[in-house]
Amino acid sequence: MTDAKIRLFVDCPLGAGQGVALSEGQANYLFAVMRLPLGAGVLVFNGTDGEWLATVAEGGKRTGRLVCLDPARPQVMPPDLWLLFAPVKKERTQFIVEKAVELGAARLCPVQTRFTNAERLRVDKARAHAIEAAEQCGATFVPPVEEVQPLDRLLSGWPEGRRILWADESLITTRQTLAALTPGPWAVLIGPEGGFSVEERDRLRAHPAVVPVSLGPRILRAETAAIAALTLWQSTLGDWT
């Protein structure tokens, strides 16, 4: 049982002796695909109560129940960092979501920009990908994925005190900008493949929360920029100490 390799995100409270009802998909995966027997160990987490070792109490092809035994890992919350990103093509958007979970973003906010086709993002699928990424990378937290919002509206109602590290392709400094960052709530903003429009760039430059940063002299694809910017923030102000 200590060999439990399967990790599942579950939507219920966790604690010693707590029963965990499985969804149809989870029951199918555990009992039809992985063929776990009664008494087998499974790791579960719900995003708030840490990771628990649970054991199979009932299992069928469509239903099943686990019971929590022992705490396996404490709850670890990511730093207060949001990722604002313009959805790109399906596979690469999936990648952005997966990587943001691995790299420890606390919230994912898809934004519609002038050169974004927001139809591209299925928020329900993005949420499922975030859960899957957390299950696979050992995270105990799953960042919420917000509904797509137009960039304009997001900037107009931007919360006071939260700054935005903007991966600005026209800017040339990286080190100086990073050295000057100060702790607090932050977001990282990544543009769409076609870049931001002239109006959007002007608006971003004039916004008091926005801090532009360069990601080097080469053109990065959106998902590379997302990973690079999250990495720079985490290693400067975040939990990569």
235 binds a copy of itself (CB under 8 A): yes
Q: How far, in Å, CA of 117 to CA of 88, rounded?
A: 8
What part of residues 166-185 is at the interface with a copy of itself (CB under 8 A)? 172-175, 178
Q: How far, in Å, CA of 15 to CA of 70, rounded?
A: 8
Find the shortest distance in angstroms from Cβ 112 to a copy of itself.
24
> Which CB sits closer to a copy of itself, 117 or 136?
136
> Which CB sits closer to a copy of itself, 22 or 135?
135
59 binds a copy of itself (CB under 8 A): no
Find the shortest distance in angstroms from Cβ 21 to a copy of itself.
28
Cα–Cα distances in angstroms (integers) from residue 139 to residues 92, 112, 195, in the given order: 21, 28, 31
What part of residues 139-168 is at the interface with a copy of itself (CB under 8 A)? 139
Find the shortest distance in angstroms from Cβ 19 to a copy of itself.
29
Amino acid type, 107? R
214 binds a copy of itself (CB under 8 A): yes
211 binds a copy of itself (CB under 8 A): no
Give the x-and-dash track for 96-135 against a copy of itself (CB under 8 A). Answer: ---x--xxx-------------------------------
> Which CB sits closer to a copy of itself, 57 or 219?
219
* Part in contact with a copy of itself (CB under 8 A); list of ranges 12-20, 80-88, 124-132, 215-223: 215-223
Q: How far, in Å, CA of 125 to CA of 102, rounded?
A: 17
Strands 51-59 and 41-45: antiparallel
Q: Which residues contact 223 (CB under 8 A, 6 or more apart)?
A: 88, 92, 93, 95, 96, 99
Q: In sequence order, what DSSP letters do the residues of 69-112 get, joined into one string?
A: EEEEE---PPPSEEEEE---SHHHHHHHHHHHHHHT-SEEEEEE
SS3 of residue 13 by DSSP: coil
> Which CB sits closer to a copy of itself, 20 or 96?
96
217 binds a copy of itself (CB under 8 A): yes
Q: How far, in Å, CA of 182 to CA of 186, rounded?
A: 10
